[in-house]
Amino acid sequence: MNATTLNARPSEPMVHLVDDEAPVRDALTFLFQSHGLAVRAYASGPEFLGAADEAPLAGCILLDVRMEPMSGLLVHDALVARGSGVPVLFLTGHGDIPMAVEALKKGAFDFIEKPSGDAALVERVTRALAVDAARQAADSKDEETAARLASLSDREREVMQRVAAGKLNKVIADELCISVRTVEVHRARVFGKLGVRSAAEVATLLARGR
């Protein structure tokens, strides 16, 4: 396998560099590494996509547009088809406006024409890494919210929905045909399982969980 991992653990966010020219891969790997960024380099689109199938990616993807046997644009199409949310930046010496517009329409994060200054390239890659870190954090929070909601019993969920709607304990008790004290117990359990302290927080958490 031609891919090489530098200064990175498998789960660590990194720059996934895809370019079929070894000198370019070496130069960019050195550039990013010298700025403290983890890099994994791939010699072709198929090699990169094979690695992407093995484990979820984190960080950003830097694609050369003109590669063999698979262009960067085709690699991006494959990523879009797989639902990848990792930011993609295109790097090319042959780009034109229609190509850039098409790539951006399909969700590319940035389009960089060569030659590009080292500082500018590092800055844009660093920005893409920050965007993906925020995406990963949001995904993690969503998963945590879903797990908390799933931990509720059916009755607790019924109480939660009414609490989120701003209903008083007595109203909830009448609607569910249970005592106010039972509502209070369920309400306390809901707050504890969800890690909230108010009806407003319950409503916010419920909205995010949808």
Span 79-119, pLDDT tens digits: 999 888 899 999 887 666 677 778 888 889 998 887 778 99
pTM more than 0.75: no
Instruction: Name residue 33's amino acid.
Output: Q
Domain stop point among 111, 139, 167: 139
Residue 156 forms part of a structural domain: yes
Positive or negative, the CA dihedral 47, 81, 89, 140 is negative
Residues 135 and 190 in one domain: no
Instruction: Quote the pLDDT of residue 162.
Output: 92
Q: Which residues contact 150 (CB under 8 A, 6 or more apart)?
A: none
pLDDT on residue 111:
86
Residue 55 has pLDDT above 60, yes or no: yes
| Count of structural domains, the chain | 2
End-to-end CA gap in the chain:
42
DSSP 60-115: EEEEESS-SSS-HHHHHHHHHHTT--S-EEEEESS--HHHHHHHHHTT-SEEEESS
Cα distance between residue 150 and residue 51, in whole Å: 33
Is there a single domain that holds both residue 200 and residue 102? no
Comparing 31-35, 73-77, 137-141, 178-182, which segment has the lowest mean pLDDT? Answer: 137-141
Handedness of CA 178, 181, 182, 186 (dihedral sign): positive
Q: Which of the given ranges, 19-23, 53-57, 191-195, has the highest pLDDT on average?
A: 19-23
Both 198 and 119 in a single domain? no
Q: Which residues contact 90 (CB under 8 A, 6 or more apart)?
A: 63, 64, 65, 72, 73, 76, 100, 103, 108, 110, 111, 112
Residues 31 and 11 in one domain: yes
Q: Which domain holds residue 53?
A: 4-139
Tokens representing 124 are 């844009």
Query: 74 and 158 in one domain?
Result: no
Q: What tens digit of pLDDT does each residue of 8-24 get?
A: 433 567 999 999 999 99
pLDDT at 94: 67
CATH code: domain of residue 122: 3.40.50.2300
* Whether the Cβ atoms of residue 27 and residue 53 lie closer than 8 Å to each other: no
The residue ranking higher by pLDDT, 2 or 194, is 194
In this prediction, residue 96 carries a pLDDT of: 64
- What pLDDT shows up at residue 210? 59
pLDDT for res 209: 61
Separation between Cα atoms, residue 103 and residue 106, nearest integer Å: 5
Count other Cβ atoms within 10 Å, centred on residue 120.
10
Q: What is the mean pLDDT of the chain?
A: 86
Contact call for residues 88 and 63 (beta carbons, < 8 A): yes
134 shares its domain with 165: no
User: pLDDT > 90: what percent of the chain?
Assistant: 48
Is the pLDDT assigned to residue 3 strictly greater than 50?
Answer: no
**What pLDDT score was predicted for residue 137?**
79
